[in-house]
Every structure is written in structure tokens, then in C-alpha cells.
Amino acid sequence: MTAPPSKSYTHRAMVLGALTRSQFHLSSPLLSEDTKATLDALYALGTEFTSNAKGVMIHCEEFRRAPGTIDARNSGTTMRLIAGLSSLLPFRTTLTGDQSLIRRPMSPLIDALTQLGAKCEYLGRRGLPPVTIQGPITKPRCEVAADVSSQFISSLLIACSQKEGDTSIRLMGETRSRPYVDITIQMLKDFGAEVEEKADSLSVRGAQKLRRDSYTVPGDYSSASFPLAAAAITGGEVTVRNLDMDSPQGDRAMVDHLSAFGASVTVFRDSVKVVGGNLEGTEIDVRHTPDLFPILAVIGAVSKGRTVLKGGEHLRDKESNRIVTTTAFLRSMGAKVTPTSDGCEIDGVERLHGAAVDTAGDHRILMAAAVAGLVASSEVRIEDNDSFNVSYPGFLRDMHQLGCRMEVRK
């Protein structure tokens, strides 16, 4: 099968494409619920789009005041990147999201934007969306808590490359999910911008002209982890194409994790093949790869011996509290798993059993539970039939193609 396009790259390319102020073609984008939220937000701010079979043409002559509140829906990346973009504009922009998103933190980013001169106001609980932002930001330095979400740093990097004057961004605490910051820096450089990296700060030259006519979105390791894991736990064989082993994507680590569990992994120039085998527990630090936590826990649940997943304190601030939702659904299926403050500890069992799974609306919990169902002794019923559309619209199609029996019941 072919890996779907990367959600992380698609979000960033949409925003950077609009900032080129030219006719920009985004090739092979992921068009999911999350990335459509970013398109809709950019449209509200004056960006024009046309689509064809090869991708999306993006053009923005000048940003305008949004006619109403911008709804980021379930997309934290949309909320954070558009907040940064809004800080460049001399009028108020109001951002909100669904019930899950308005429980996710915004204060580290809002505090940093305020230090740069933006006028920000929370419309509900302090530190949480909905929020209004008015720019333009002009001040030369800020500091941001780096141990909550890398998206705050990515938002600041893009915004500060466009503001007047240079900016020093001081990173407070250990940076979580650092590979996503690396993706943003790489993409800014791909669009002609400069970022200087220091030990505990980032320096960004202001008013940089972004130049790029087109950009092709690479394949996504985060989504590919589900079919690769399916092969590992069922004793099957899956080859996933469109995966670049030189990519800065943090979830590329899935290749190493599968090997550590004992699966047979073969890496080619642009694809990865996994063959299942006798799996044994291992210890994995997920501080930079939180999206892999649910599916790694599934593998650990059916691996011999003990698996420890650690370093994921920030898992509590995802679409759901993933420590709670992951351990809850696995325990309901007979796994021996204990939640910890930063992950979980698992003692493998020979086989899982059927259960009714509550995903809390989290797309990665749905997909991890579906993969777990492949090695369950009876039916697994997932009380969520569509949240995979947030990040991997082709999930059911691809799993059917691989021989998995999954049925959607309305």
C-alpha cells in the first residue's frame, strides 16, 4: 500500500503557501478533516483556492478580517498556526474549536504572542480557547514553554519570519515533540527563510520573503504505523511505499520500535516492509513521538514480557487524555496494562478479547483499537465510526485492501 500524505506537512505548506503571496501549487496534500479546517481558516482570512486532480492551488494577495469566528474544529495544529498568523494582522481574529479542542492549552503561545506585542483575550476559561488575537506583533523577543506542545514553537517560527524586525525565541524547559519543530524549520528553509538554532533559543530574521511555486507533501509515518503494526502483531506482511527514510518526521522511529519488539523490518529507498514474528516487550521513550503511543501500547499488549512506554506527560493534552483512553480500551480487551504519570507499563498476554471501545472521539484511539481487534478472540465494537477522517481518511480502505474485516455500522 501507499502511505497517505503527511498531515503535519500539509498544514504547514498551506500556511506557508498563502504567505508566498503568489500562485502556489500544493501537490499531493492530505485532505482530511484537520487540514480542511486549516483551508477554511485561510479562506476566511482572504486566501483563494482552486483544486484539481494533482492538488490545490493557493493564492492570497492580502489577508482580510475574517467575517466571523474561525472554527478550527478538532485541529490543534490549525488553532496554533492560525493564531500565529493572526498576530501579524492589524485587526481582531477570534478562534474557537470543538469540545475537545477548547480543553487543550493555549496559554504558552498566547503569552509569547503577548510578549511580542499582540493584544489577546480569552473569551472563556483563561488559558483555553476561544481566544481573540490582534496584531501586528513588533517586539524583538519572547519566551515560550517548550514542554507542552511543539506546535507553539512552530507557530511562532512562521509568524516571526513575517513580522517587522528580528526575533529571539527563548525555549523554556525541554522541547517536547522536537521533530515537529525540525519539520517547521526545514520547511521554512525550503521556502527561502532563515532560522538560527541555538542551545535554548531560536533566532528568526523578520520580514522574510517566502518564495516557492510548488511543494509536494511526503508520505506520513504516523498513519503508516497502523498497517505496519497490524503486520507485526498478526504475523502478516505489509509493505508501505512513499516513506522517505531521510525525513525529519519523528514517527519514522516506528521502524526502529518494530525492530525492537522483534518484527522483521526491511527498509528500502522509499518503502518499509514489516513481517510479523515472535514479539517481545521493550522500553520506549515517546516524548518526541506522542502520536505513536496508542499503537505502541497495542503491540506491547500482545508481546511476550514487559513493555514500558515513558516520557509522555504531554499525552494528557492531546485529542483525548491518551494515557487514560489507551489503557482503558486495552484493559477492556483483557490486556494487563497499568497507566503511569508519563505513559504505561504492560505485561503481554497471548491474546486479547472482544469489547466495546470508547474512543473519546480521538482518531488515533479508533485506529489503534481497530488494529488491536485483529488479534482479539471475538468482535471488537468501536463506538466511533468516522474520527479517522481527522488524519487518515483512507484508513478503512487501506485496511480492507490488506485483508482486514472491518464493518461500519451506522
Residue 126: other Cβ atoms inside 10 A: 9
In whole angstroms, give the CA distance from residue 323 to residue 293: 8
Q: Which three cell numbers stand for residue 65?
A: 478580517
Residue 138: other Cβ atoms inside 10 A: 13
Could you tell me the sign of the dihedral formed by the alpha carbons of 25, 26, 27, 32, in that order? negative
Side chain identity, residue 240: V
| Burial group, residue 241, by CB count within 10 angstroms (0-12, 13-18, 19+) | middle
Query: Coil, strand or helix: which one is 69?
Result: coil
Could you tell me the sign of the dihedral formed by the alpha carbons of 240, 246, 249, 252, in that order? positive
Q: Which three cell numbers stand for residue 75?
A: 485541529
For residue 56, what are the contacts with CB-CB under 8 A and spacing of at least 6?
Answer: 14, 25, 26, 29, 39, 49, 50
| Burial group, residue 52, by CB count within 10 angstroms (0-12, 13-18, 19+) | exposed
State yes or no: is 291 an active-site residue: yes
| Burial group, residue 222, by CB count within 10 angstroms (0-12, 13-18, 19+) | buried
C-beta separation of 263 from 274 below 8 A: yes
For residue 261, what are the contacts with CB-CB under 8 A and spacing of at least 6?
Answer: 232, 279, 280, 281, 282, 299, 300, 303
- The H or E element that residue 197 is part of is strand 195-197
Catalytic residue among 291, 358, 384, 398: 291
List, by residue number, the catalytic residues.
Answer: 291
